[in-house]
Amino acid sequence: MNDSAEKVSLDERQFQAAVRCRSVKKYYGAVKAVDEVDLEVRKGECFGLLGPNGAGKTTLVEILEGLTRPDRGLVEVLGYQWGMGDDRSFRERISVQLQETQLADKLTVAETIRIFRSFYRQGRSVEEVIRKAGLEEKQGERVMKLSGGTKQKLALACALVSEPELLFLDEPTTGLDPQARYQVWEIVEEFKSRRGTVLLTTHYMEEAARLCDRVAIMDHGKILAMDRPELLVESLVGRGIIEFRAGEDFDETLLAQLPSVKAMERKNSGFVLKVLELNQTLPALLAEVEKRNLKLAGLVSRPATLEDVFIALTGGKLKDE
C-alpha cells in the first residue's frame, strides 16, 4: 500500500502534476455525479472544468478538495492522497473557494480574513490580502452589507491569505456583474503570476478562454474533451463559423467545393459551416454565390468558441439562458 503510494508520488514529480485522478467515481443513488474521470492538472497552470449545471463539476472538485469521498478511484493532490496522512496539515498547502459559501454576517471584512489567517502557520498579512483583493474601502464593513461581487472578492481573499500552492475555485464569478467578474479575474491572474496552480469550474466560456491554459469539458459526470481552449475549438469545430439562410433554389453541392470547410449542417432554412480559415472560405462562398446569382440572407461569420465545442460534443447549451 505504502509502496504503491510512494511510486505514484515519484511518477508525479516527473509529470509535475498538481492534481491527478484516475477512474474516479461517485454515484448518488442512480445519479452518476462523477463517472470514471481521469484528469491531470499540471503545476503552474490554470485548469478549467467547463460544463452546465449538474454536470458533476462541483462533486469532482469537492472530491479533489478532500471534502467528499469518491466511491472509488485514485486522487492525488500535490502528491498527497486524502486520508493517507495528516489531512489537516496538508490543507495548509491548498486553498478553496466553495460555491455558495456565506461568511459570518456580523463580522467585518478584516475580521473575517483575520480568522482565516489564524488557521495557517504561514501566509500573507491581512493588510496585504485586503490590498490585493481591492477591499481597502470595505475592510471595516460587515459582511451582511456587502454586494455579491465584494463578497466573492472576500471569499477569494480568505482563500489567498495562506499563499497556497494550489487554488480551487468553484464558479468564482457566477451571478456577478461584468465589472465584479473582471475584478475577480484580475485577482486570479495575480495569483497565476506567482506561479500558483488554479483549478476552476465555470460555465462561462469567456472566463475559461481568458483564464485557463487548459480546459476539460464535462457533462453527465464524464470528461468529454480536454485540451488548450484554442486547440479544442480548432480540432472539434474549426476556427470560424459561417451561418446564413438561403432561398429554395440554393444549390447545396457548391458548399462542398469551398476551401477549408470542416463540416456543414442544415439549420432551419439555412446552413452552418464550420471552417478552418474564415478568410479562405468566406470570399470563396461570396464569389460562388455571385457567380450563380443566388440569394443569401442573415449572413454571419464569427470565430468559433468553446460554446460551439460544447454544442458539438453534447448537442446542448452550456448555460440555460
Partner 1 sequence: MSESRIHHPLMELTIARIKETIREPEAMFWIFVFPVLLALGLGIAFRDRPPEKIPVAINSRMKDTSQIAEMISRSPRLKAQMIAPADLGQFLRTGKVALIISRTREINFLKSNRAENLQAQSGADLFLIYDPTRSESQLARLAVSDALQSGMGRKDVIALQDQEVKEPGARYIDFLIPGLVAMNLMGSGMWGVGFGIVFARTRKLLKRLAASPMRRSHYLLAFMLSRLVFLVGEVAAVVGFGWLVFEVKVYGSILDLAIVAIIGSMTFTGMGLLVASRATTIETASGWMNFIMLPMYLLSGTFFSYSRFPALLQPFIRALPLTALNDTMRAIINQGDPLFKSWLELLVLILWGSVSFAVAVRIFRWQ
**Strands, E, within 117-236: which ranges?**
166-170, 197-202, 214-219, 222-227
Closest approach of partner 1 to the CB of residue 74, in Å: 21
Rounded CA-CA distance 103/80 in Å is 28
**Bridge partners (DSSP) listed for residue 274:** 241, 263
| Phi and psi at residue 24, to the nearest 5° | -80, 130
Least distance CB 102 / partner 1 (angstroms): 4
Q: Which is nearer to partner 1, 24 or 113 (CB)?
A: 113
Report the nearest approach of partner 1 to the CB of residue 314 (Å).
29
CB of 234 to partner 1, least distance (A): 37
Q: Write out the DSSP string of 14-65.
A: HHTEEEEEEEEEEEETTEEEEEEEEEEEETT-EEEEE--TTSSHHHHHHHHT
Q: Which is nearer to partner 1, 92 or 277 (CB)?
A: 92
Give the residue with the Cβ less far from partner 1, 95 or 173.
95
Q: At what angle do helices 306-314 and 229-236 cross, to 10 degrees?
A: 50
Minimum Å distance from CB 230 to partner 1?
Answer: 33
Binding region for partner 1 (CB under 8 A): 65-67, 88-92, 95-96, 98, 100-104, 106-107, 110-111, 113-120, 126-127, 130, 139-140, 142, 158
What span, in angstroms and rounded, lies between the C-alpha atoms of 112 and 149? 16
d(C-alpha 236, C-alpha 240), whole Å: 11
Q: What's the closest the beta carbon of residue 126 comes to partner 1, in angstroms? A: 5
- Return the C-alpha cell found at 251: 444549390
Residue number, 86 or 249, with CB nearest to partner 1: 86
**Beta-carbon neighbour count of residue 149 at 10 Å?**
19
Nearer to partner 1 (CB atom), residue 11 or residue 71: 71
Min dist CB 151 to partner 1, Å, is 12
- Nearer to partner 1 among residue 66 and residue 229 (C-beta): 66
DSSP 84-107: SS-HHHHGGGEEEE-TT----TTS
Nearer to partner 1, 33 or 282 (CB): 33
- Contacts by 124-128 with C-beta closer than 8 Å and gap 24+? 124/160, 124/161, 124/162, 124/163, 126/161
State how far the alpha carbon of 56 is from the alpha carbons of 107, 217, 283, in Å: 33, 11, 43
Is the CB of 85 or the CB of 316 nearer to partner 1? Answer: 85
Nearer to partner 1, 107 or 225 (CB): 107
Q: How far is the CB of 34 from partner 1 (least distance, A)?
A: 16
The minimum distance between CB 286 and partner 1, in angstroms, equals 55
